[in-house]
Structure 1
Amino acid sequence: MLYNAVGMLSSIFFIGCLFGLVDQLRRIRKRKADGLSKTIGYATQSISANAFFSSFIAFYAFFLYSIMLDEVEYYMFVTRLFAALMTLTILYEIYIDRDRISQKIPFITGLVCMAIAGLAFIYREDVLVVGRSTSLVLALGATLVMLQGGIQQIRKIHKEKTTGVLSLPMNAIFMCKDLANVAFGLVLGFTDGWPLLLLGSISALLKLGIIIQFFCYRKRCEKAVNVS
């Protein structure tokens, strides 16, 4: 009963995350439609490709982890799949909005990762043992990637003194999702749930840091932006 209740709560927040990602995508496309859309990096101002790639890796790691459990964890599987695909869409917007190759690599890498996950799901029984160990390492690595990506996003906002096109609702919903992940990890038990506990705790703190910056800096529309 508790497992299903917390699992449903986690899924609801993930649905909210999808709406948050849609809001972020809407903001980007709204900027693309205005008069400054041809300015390189304007449509995705103040968005860190590093931070969104780290979010993708976090979703992807637990998507793969859900496949490699003894029984596929469908709460985790479905929600992480949709979140990973939506984040990949935002990485695509960054890919077409910026010129630097470093800003394009995350989207290309994400496509390769999703292709590998598809093969892992198809041949799940054959790669279960190796895949479980790999997914655990990936979950731990995703936590480190998330940590540096979140710090990079906070530094980028502080450097530009604006939150630009970054979505406050998306970050708020993501923080709630992270807290729900912590609760779900507790219900799963430490053996299966420790990756959720670790990543959820760190990600929630990072999102809180980003949210605080929305109250520190007013949004400014700038023609010249830094997309590093």
Structure 2
Amino acid sequence: MGLDFYNIAGTVNTAFIFVSLYGVFSQLRTICRRKASSDNSVRPTELLSLNQFTVSYLAYLSFFVYGYSISPFNHYIVWPRLIASILVLQIIMEILLDRKSVKSAISFAVAASSLILAFVGLFFGETISDEGKLISTSIILVVSFLLAQGYFHQIRLIYSSGHTGAVDLKMSQFIFMMDISTIIFALSMGLVDGWPLLMLAVTSGVTKLIIMYLFRWVDKSPLAAKRRNAELPQSS
């Protein structure tokens, strides 16, 4: 029964991860739509937190490494997270192309390099499995803290400006659904192996709830309207 619950939870979680990938696609589509705008004042990645997306990328990548480091090899964790890592890396690249800042260049370089190293670990997984599990678990602990900090940065950007900019609501909605299924899957694994997944999913889920609420706050709050108006150039 335990194995059946694990397989069912893993299958459902994998399905929701692929659903969440549509959310990432939606964010990429929003960026591309803004890039194609004829309005030169529209920034393709306006208000997108480089901090948040970099940490999200590291979260996906760390579980990719964790999934192939534990025994047995966890296909439910590995392959969906690899795809998610590649997609989020594309968003980081779009931020780099839009802003051309040193910070965005460093983030993209670190992200791309870490993906290459993760692939090296995958091919030599049998010889470094213990080290890989220790490294990925340590990364997950750090990433859980950074994820909360990164999403707080995104939340603060929305709250202080009174608008959502290029932030895509669907991405938060779909990733939140993935987080719920991930919590269930982590419990099916048992706390010994599943606690890193559980901790990160809870952290991500809570912050996504706040961001989804802020979309409603932006539409309804007089304070949000006041802050948006304050950003508009004053007429002479």
Q: TM-score, normalised by structure 1?
A: 0.92
What residue number does 1:128 align with? 129
- Is 1:3 matched up with 2:6? yes
Matches of 2:23 and 2:90, distance apart in 1 = 13
Deviations 1:183-211 (A, max 9, x none): 01100000000011111111100000101
- Is 1:179 matched up with 2:180? yes
What residue number does 2:91 align with? 90
What residue number does 1:99 align with? 100
Deviations 1:137-179 (A, max 9, x none): 0111111111111101101111221111111111011111111
Q: CA deviation at 1:89?
A: 0.5
What residue number does 1:79 align with? 80
Matches of 1:76 and 1:185, distance apart in 2 = 10
**Given residue 190 of structure 1, which amino acid in structure 2 is its aligned partner?**
L
Q: CA deviation at 1:99?
A: 2.8
- Bigger Rg over Cα: 2
Q: CA deviation at 1:36?
A: 3.1
Q: Spell out the pairing of 1:26-41 with structure 2 (5 A cutoff).
A: 26-37=29-40
Matches of 1:28 and 1:56, distance apart in 2 = 17
Deviations 1:84-123 (A, max 9, x none): 1100010110010003211222211110110000110111
**Given residue 199 of structure 2, which amino acid in structure 1 is its aligned partner?**
L
**Given residue 180 of structure 2, which amino acid in structure 1 is its aligned partner?**
L
What residue number does 2:222 align with? none
Matches of 1:83 and 1:55, distance apart in 2 = 10
Contact 2:20–2:177 (8 Å) recurs in 1: no
- Is 1:194 matched up with 2:230? no
Q: TM-score, normalised by structure 2?
A: 0.89
Contact 1:20–1:170 (8 Å) recurs in 2: yes
**Given residue 24 of structure 2, which amino acid in structure 1 is its aligned partner?**
L
Matches of 2:101 and 2:174, distance apart in 1 = 30
Q: CA deviation at 1:129?
A: 1.8
Matches of 1:101 and 1:36, distance apart in 2 = 26
What residue number does 2:62 align with? 61
Gaps of 5+ in 2: 220-224
Matches of 2:29 and 2:49, distance apart in 1 = 17
Deviations 1:49-79 (A, max 9, x none): 1111111011011001001112210010011
Q: CA deviation at 1:16?
A: 0.8
**Given residue 24 of structure 1, which amino acid in structure 2 is its aligned partner?**
Q
Bigger shift: residues 203-212 or 157-166: 157-166
Contact 1:139–1:195 (8 Å) recurs in 2: yes
Percentage of matched positions with identical amino acids: 30
**Given residue 17 of structure 1, which amino acid in structure 2 is its aligned partner?**
S
Count of residue pairs the alignment pairs up: 220
Matches of 2:146 and 2:61, distance apart in 1 = 12
| Runs of 4+ in structure 1 over 4 Å off | none
